[in-house]
């Protein structure tokens, strides 16, 4: 499946284009922390899914990193 179709399906399934709402509907916690040169990462431990975002990023960068990690 190509990326555009996957994104379209995700938007339809979650009923929104808002990246934060999509994460919430997918039970993925978004946390902000000091990460140095790392912009963000996804992790799943013991059934808890989260995306860590560098707290120094701009609002635009945050959205890009969240979309990438999804």
**Residue 67: band (very low, low, confident or very high) from pLDDT cuts 50, 70, 90:** very high
Report pLDDT digits (tens) over 16-49.
Answer: 999 999 999 999 999 999 999 999 999 998 889 9
Task: Give the mean pLDDT of the chain.
Answer: 95
CB atoms within 10 A of CB 23: 19
**HEC readout, 43-64:** EEECCEEEEEEECCCCHHHHHH
Full-model pTM:
0.86
């Amino acid at each position: 499946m190509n990326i555009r179709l996957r994104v379209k399906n995700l938007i339809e399934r979650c009923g929104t284009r808002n990246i934060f709402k999509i994460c919430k509907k997918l039970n993925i916690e978004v946390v902000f922390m000091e990460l140095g040169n790392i912009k963000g990462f996804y992790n799943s431990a013991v059934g808890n899914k989260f995306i860590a975002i560098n707290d120094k990023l701009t609002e635009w960068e945050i959205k890009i990193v969240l979309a990438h990690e999804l």
